[in-house]
Structure 1
């Protein structure tokens, strides 16, 4: 009865509220609270001195985006982690999405994704175009010496060349022992157009240094209520309690037991166009050269090297014997160490035709790619190649009403031969009242990630599972977006065949049967005078006896007072609550860095509550938040078996942007 009451109250307060956007690869640029963008979008060529025009694009996406300056969603816009993600308790720890979001990409995959949400990649790299240099600076300080730094700068050098640089630092010792995180993420992009606008080059480089402390959870949940343990950091944990201790400062952090991931990649894309050019006379002193491509040749080169390490310099023999089947030599001084290192060199050649002059969002693209992949482990090496072909048809009409996309990729030869991906999507903007609706269907057939098939360390013979077939996942999606009525709704239907998962800390398995998942996700914003109600919610239902556990219902509600005060002060202050219904939360295996299916312990969590004051004064934004207010009212929530929530804490996040 209590759960029904909580769900009912959240739904009523949200005003039929639900939100459909929870994609972590490319962060969206919309939202509520304050103005929608920090710049005026103009196509004039004679910009006024105080006018900033700043746009960016992603690879393979012909649509322009604008930077989001809204102040409502601290989780997404500042932390860059969607609200549906659940960490193991600390900012930067291993995280998973409470809304099932399977990897829908064919081809080789190493399989280490527990820290993906914190890093950069080529898919979320931004290629800017701006008429004035633009910079951002962000700094956050929180409880237990948590700190974050965000830096970004972009500028054009003339009309032909732009570069950008971004850096993100996450350093958080956490509330519990050996929970510290220390991430450094770098991203550099550049794009160049030749004088005659026929030749283009795009460059993207990222480096993710991800260090996540692993404590294996607390030893005894009853310790949370022991009056002699006056701080959470005094509670014994399964890992990190030996002789080696952590040291933590913003730029000098040592973590004794951790997953240490380093991901680095560079991508270069070159394009050469054939088409028609015209000189447009603007006025007596200005002529503009306009070039419309009709045919394009494109080459993409990428080099990626990823290293995934686990290290425990003071291991506990009993815990490893119970969970991984190996003990530590007498004295416990030997280090537990694993390393999976992968190197991928890719070359891709494509040709494109643009049927309608002046519309580069209408094209046909055909191509093929060759991937050379090499892996190095504790005592083994492997190398193989993949040859793939791909094609795409895209037609986004110039009136922005229709958007049709059909895309496919097939692995012809190599280790992943037989993998494929097909997708079709149709989007239609109806009108201002009805908004935009889209329908999408996707099917992927893929080899399971390599970590399911092989894993080795310095303490045991490698675990192997060579009896895995290809996975097949189908997704059908309907989506509706309405800016006028301030809502969006997404319905996803997934069909899984040969679903692969970890059933224990070391053993992978494949579900033999079919099962499906219905997922409804939505958002609604309701403004009543100066009061704003933002509601996100999701419903998930699995049909079939599947080894997948997700909460049936998840919701977030923000109730805030919004106002513009003293001409330049945009204020957004109120309460935020998150809740999900009881479910069997996945366990976590630190050595292999994977979430593990379990059906023995169900978690009946209470809502998480925070009070906040967000405000913006011109180019300065501040987020002041009192989080985990629920710790004064209810018992500790659990994110996974033996991983409890934090105590009350205060965060202050600051953000400045500068136009030079």
Structure 2
């Protein structure tokens, strides 16, 4: 099956590369702050499309004359959902927030001490449009690039981006990217993000790599469009089980001897885990017809233009993923084991996804699409487990057939979108429906309301798990997780961005200590028998006075659940006071300030390295420790330089900072980095 999918992928790619048939209509272009540019009418769209095409074509074929230099807005970045932005080389406070290992704003995530480890989630978004279970090992997936994390490009000249940031002790983080349009219709990109960091504590080394290759192609007559990518990833973490219980007091008291974190004893130094994955993805479409019809109206009215478009779309995606936990000898923390030394727990998932979709666009009725899909999945292990007179199977394997549809329409200033899907055959039931309506009240005020309902099976590792540790073997028949969510958002320029969502979750599945086994850490999957009510309200705003600014992000959360299976801090806040100005006759732009991160005390989830999952604990609260970072950033031409003193208050405000129980957060450190763009 794997070989067949790979061969099919390359056959399809080679077919489209040598095809002979101009880009289809571009999605709405977004500005650098990801605000959708308003679209007027279909005639305007067609005219702008033609002008843009001719402009880009000229830039790709003409010489280096000063008048023909490409503009930054011509370097397009296209998302999985066809949202389009352009390359942004400015230096803003958002760039400071995104200059990290994940390369995205990590508000609401609590990093572990070493770069490349996991993150404890301080908040959860239960909006869901998946019909199938996820793989599991969710603690290892923060840096795992899914289909929606891959972008495609269209550039008038070759573009390169180099990213570098220092790590902890030995190692570094680097991300290199290159893309080029060999013709106005064909683009490819190659990128690799690699990281290695020793860390400050014993046996906590991390080493990760994310390789991605993308390509997109459009034919001259606007009939055929193709996008494809290959992603290969491996994320390795040494596991030490956190600080030993008798070392926790030495850490919290700040005993001088143990300020050298390398001598603090951890639970073990003989284990590591690794998540691997490779994916081959092809998304291509064929326009059956694309017509523009002018309708003559009475002289008192202007003539109108109608656009009709019918297209077929096909997606094929093959992904092979594995997670393994290796340990040289059994540790009593996790109980009895089948084998006392040199063992490996390894689980795999092969998934082949095929979707056929028909799209119809009518600028008067809207944009309709209907799809049918098949997913072949093969999750599991190499052998059966017989434990306590119970046989635990080794495979969950089968086919899921699903159907769905989407609708989008601009009507009297409202952007209305809807999406639905349902499993119609197979071993897993599931469905979802999502709808939203947004409206630009004025040029400065934007409002949106959204609803989401979903029913989906729990993750594969909650349904089936096997391990060398005897207490980590189960096969469960859980009900689907049912979620309903209502969300609102209102935004006024850059001053206020308020978003509120309210979710009800039934049959929530979580990991927790098995209360029947108290002498060891026996973490198992459970299903909540009640309904959880979860409210979130997030406020973002920025206050500017001259060259000074105060940027604030405040999150309020309230959870009502009698079993205490979903724990989050009530208040999470990030506040940045900074100064920015041009220097040296505008040759350099400087930005410097201080950022405060803080969250209130709550029962923080614990981390289990065998499962690579976080689990619920209600024994000790963590939080109420401030984290202060001082930064100096600068921009010279297309180069951004970042210098940060992270957690510089660590020795002043007490050693009570944790990323998870027994896993301390990082101490004060100074780190340097750079992002450099090249335009040829």
Confirm whether residue 275 of structure 1 aligns to residue 289 of structure 2.
yes
Deviation at 1:365, TM superposition (A): 0.4
4+ residue segments displaced more than 6 Å: none
Ranked by relative contact order (alpha carbons within 8 Å, sequence separation 6 or more), the top structure is 1
Q: Which runs of 5+ in 1 are unaligned?
A: 1-26, 33-40, 241-255, 279-290
Render the CA deviation track for 1:286-312: whole Å, top value 9, x for unaligned.
xxxxx9761001111110100011112
Confirm whether residue 111 of structure 1 aligns to residue 136 of structure 2.
yes
Distance in 1 separating the partners of 2:83 and 2:647: 39
Confirm whether residue 551 of structure 1 aligns to residue 569 of structure 2.
yes
Confirm whether residue 136 of structure 1 aligns to residue 161 of structure 2.
yes
The aligned residue for residue 643 of structure 2 is 624
The aligned residue for residue 440 of structure 1 is 450
Confirm whether residue 598 of structure 1 aligns to residue 612 of structure 2.
no
2:415 to 387, 392, 403: 403
Distance in 2 separating the partners of 1:648 and 1:88: 14
Q: Does the Cα contact within 8 Å between 2:126 and 2:503 map onto a contact in 1?
A: no
Confirm whether residue 30 of structure 1 aligns to residue 33 of structure 2.
yes
Confirm whether residue 233 of structure 1 aligns to residue 262 of structure 2.
yes
Q: Does the Cα contact within 8 Å between 1:318 and 1:327 map onto a contact in 2?
A: no
The aligned residue for residue 86 of structure 2 is 66
- Paired residues for 1:518-537 under 5 Å: 518-537=535-554
Render the CA deviation track for 1:216-242: whole Å, top value 9, x for unaligned.
1100212323333351011010121xx
SS at match of 1:451: helix
Distance in 2 separating the partners of 1:604 and 1:486: 29
Deviation at 1:110, TM superposition (A): 1.6
- In structure 2, the CA distance between the partners of 1:327 and 1:346, relative to structure 1 (3 Å rule), is closer
TM-score normalised by the chain length of structure 1? 0.84
The aligned residue for residue 664 of structure 2 is 644
Confirm whether residue 96 of structure 1 aligns to residue 111 of structure 2.
no
1:373 to 340, 363, 377: 377
Distance in 2 separating the partners of 1:574 and 1:311: 43
Confirm whether residue 495 of structure 1 aligns to residue 509 of structure 2.
no
73-82 or 527-536: which moved more?
73-82
The aligned residue for residue 436 of structure 2 is 425
SS at match of 1:573: strand
Deviation at 1:501, TM superposition (A): 0.3
Confirm whether residue 517 of structure 1 aligns to residue 524 of structure 2.
no
- Paired residues for 1:192-207 under 5 Å: 192-207=217-232
- Paired residues for 1:153-552 under 5 Å: 153-219=178-244, 220-224=247-251, 225-240=254-269, 256-276=270-290, 294-313=309-328, 315=329, 317-321=331-335, 325-326=336-337, 329=340, 334-356=341-363, 362-379=366-383, 380-396=394-410, 401-416=413-428, 418-433=429-444, 435-460=445-470, 463-483=473-493, 485-504=494-513, 505-545=522-562, 546-552=564-570
Q: Does the Cα contact within 8 Å between 1:71 and 1:616 map onto a contact in 2?
A: no
Render the CA deviation track for 1:524-549: whole Å, top value 9, x for unaligned.
11111010111111000012314111
- In structure 2, the CA distance between the partners of 1:461 and 1:644, relative to structure 1 (3 Å rule), is closer
Distance in 1 separating the partners of 2:508 and 2:406: 28
- In structure 2, the CA distance between the partners of 1:375 and 1:142, relative to structure 1 (3 Å rule), is closer
Q: Which runs of 5+ in 2 are unaligned?
A: 1-29, 36-48, 60-67, 293-305, 384-393, 514-521
SS at match of 2:135: coil
SS at match of 1:340: strand
Distance in 1 separating the partners of 2:487 and 2:100: 28
- Once superposed, what is the RMSD of the aligned Cα atoms? 2.5
- In structure 2, the CA distance between the partners of 1:364 and 1:631, relative to structure 1 (3 Å rule), is same
Distance in 2 separating the partners of 1:143 and 1:377: 35
Q: Does the Cα contact within 8 Å between 1:311 and 1:337 map onto a contact in 2?
A: yes
More helix by share: 2
The aligned residue for residue 56 of structure 1 is 77
Deviation at 1:270, TM superposition (A): 1.7
Deviation at 1:328, TM superposition (A): 6.1
The aligned residue for residue 658 of structure 1 is 678
- In structure 2, the CA distance between the partners of 1:71 and 1:233, relative to structure 1 (3 Å rule), is farther
Q: Does the Cα contact within 8 Å between 1:71 and 1:615 map onto a contact in 2?
A: no
TM-score normalised by the chain length of structure 2? 0.82
Q: Does the Cα contact within 8 Å between 1:317 and 1:328 map onto a contact in 2?
A: no
Render the CA deviation track for 1:452-481: whole Å, top value 9, x for unaligned.
122112343862142411110111110122
Deviation at 1:551, TM superposition (A): 0.3
Deviation at 1:112, TM superposition (A): 2.1
Deviation at 1:108, TM superposition (A): 2.8
SS at match of 2:138: coil
- In structure 2, the CA distance between the partners of 1:30 and 1:644, relative to structure 1 (3 Å rule), is same
SS at match of 1:118: coil
Distance in 1 separating the partners of 2:114 and 2:87: 28
